[in-house]
Chains A and B, each alone.
Chain A
């Protein structure tokens, strides 16, 4: 049922997204003039894609590191930092990045990556800690090397929860990236910001609708990946 829903959502939202960017003439009101919807979407996607990829590698890597015997000492610290970090509103993360990193796409990437790490890291840690000790013990006792225990037993068992973290992180990132326009990162936030400043609801709706459709489409994609294999 969920797979059916995800497939329908992907077709519906993804289809709408493609149509509205490929055929700007479909919009019944004047659009943001400085860039086409397609260009804005690509800019937005690159912002989200790169930062989510960095977040995935970092979150997964740190999550694995602090659950190994050698890194175990850092587990409480890392968990505390992650939960504290998650209490920052995304806007604050972006704005705080400015004094340190300045304006532009680079700082937005860094801020989005940092913010996106948190759910992935959190879920990776919880998922790895939830693998039954008897299962790990058996794997070790049967002669798996530590890396084999991780790749063949722990990560496959942790996979659904980690994917859920990636899904949350990416979808939230789509929204946060829209705020990135405020620090000059472009993307779908640009028409929103411009609409707010010039009180043009058409620009505002253009950015908001496309960002919403993008979030729903990515959510459906991850839903399908998660349901794809057991």
Chain B
């Protein structure tokens, strides 16, 4: 769906990207992760031709992006940026309708779609459609930004530090909501962030960049298990094992042999990190797991969790 081939981008004497090869599969969410100045935003902006590479080529749906007219290309790619960039003189509904209008949809279709897509991001059209951007909270504005990017139902979504301006609590909520939307819509998403926790929470795969070079590109699990070098290991943080645990639901390590003891019950979707926290706090070694309809589906032992954490840890 999106492919970078030997892409280099220079600004005068400085090299922002050096010979990057990267290919994204359809429907996956790939995080571009790296410190500031690593070239991650530059890489993202090559996709919708806000920038063109100095060398190398970028393909979208198998076609060199330079064969598209820039505006036509951009209208088929959703784009969300850090400071949202809502048009302050337009109401929420007009902001969301931006791309459909550029594409020349008829009024009824636009009105219907604006309602749908606001609903999708959890904002009631009746409450929000007539508001101006300055009447929104940071989180609401960011949701409108996502709605605007999704309005024409583009197959590709580019998100540049999309949630960085939202406060930490709001950010976790909007991340979770976005993952839920992504689970349903299955867009191909390029998601730029410098926040490791955000990358781990969101990414199907993560591309780590450093000083314009692609250092590692792997699934999030593999990245946490086997960082390619000291830089990646350092960047992921020393609590890498806990981060790995946070990606796995308790049900993955459950045993079905019934336990005689009475023990605490947790939802089976609880991640291993929270289960470990529970063990530490309660001083227990086993919890029972229940499914959505409150049926006990298995038991998780502390020794299994510890063994898993050790087993796949790097040598």
Seen from chain A, the residues whose Cβ lies within 8 Å of a Cβ on chain B are 132, 134-135, 137-145, 148, 153, 156-157, 230
Closest to A159 in B: B89
Count of A-B residue pairs with CB < 8 Å:
54
Q: List 27 A-B contacts (CB under 8 A).
A: A132-B83, A134-B81, A134-B82, A134-B83, A134-B84, A135-B87, A137-B50, A137-B81, A137-B85, A138-B79, A138-B85, A138-B87, A139-B85, A140-B50, A140-B74, A141-B48, A142-B74, A142-B75, A142-B79, A143-B72, A143-B73, A143-B74, A143-B99, A144-B71, A145-B71, A148-B102, A230-B89
- Are B85 and A132 within 8 A (Cβ)? yes
CA distance A142 to B98 in the complex (A): 8
Write the nearest CB–CB distance from A132 to chain B, whole angstroms: 7
- Are B81 and A142 within 8 A (Cβ)? no
Q: Out of A134, A144, A156, which one reaches B89, CB within 8 Å?
A: A156
Any A CB within 8 A of the CB of B289: no
Any A CB within 8 A of the CB of B88: yes
CA distance A140 to B98 in the complex (A): 12
Q: Out of B72, B86, B89, which one reaches A138, CB within 8 Å?
A: B86
- Are A142 and B99 within 8 A (Cβ)? yes
Chain B: how many interface residues by the 8 Å CB criterion? 22
Flag B212-254 by CB within 8 Å of A: 1 or 0 each: 0000000000000000000000000000000000000000000
Any A CB within 8 A of the CB of B148: yes
Closest to B101 in A: A152
Flag B59-81 by CB within 8 Å of A: 1 or 0 each: 00000000000011111000101
CA distance A230 to B48 in the complex (A): 32
Known: A134-B84, A137-B50. 10 other contacts (CB 8 A): A135-B85, A138-B86, A141-B74, A141-B158, A142-B74, A142-B75, A142-B98, A144-B71, A144-B102, A157-B88
Closest to B74 in A: A143
Question: Which residues from chain B contact A143 at a C-beta distance below 8 Å?
Answer: 71-75, 99, 102
Write the nearest CB–CB distance from A139 to chain B, whole angstroms: 7
Write the nearest CB–CB distance from B148 to chain A, whole angstroms: 7
Question: Which residues from chain A contact B82 at a C-beta distance below 8 Å?
Answer: 134
Write the nearest CB–CB distance from A180 to chain B, whole angstroms: 39
Closest to B149 in A: A142
Question: Which residues from chain B contact A142 at a C-beta distance below 8 Å?
Answer: 74-75, 79, 98-99, 102, 148
Write the nearest CB–CB distance from A187 to chain B, whole angstroms: 39
Question: Which residues from chain A contact B148 at a C-beta distance below 8 Å?
Answer: 142
CA distance A142 to B71 in the complex (A): 8
- Are B50 and A138 within 8 A (Cβ)? no
CA distance A138 to B85 in the complex (A): 5
Question: Which residues from chain B contact A230 at a C-beta distance below 8 Å?
Answer: 89
- Are B84 and A141 within 8 A (Cβ)? no
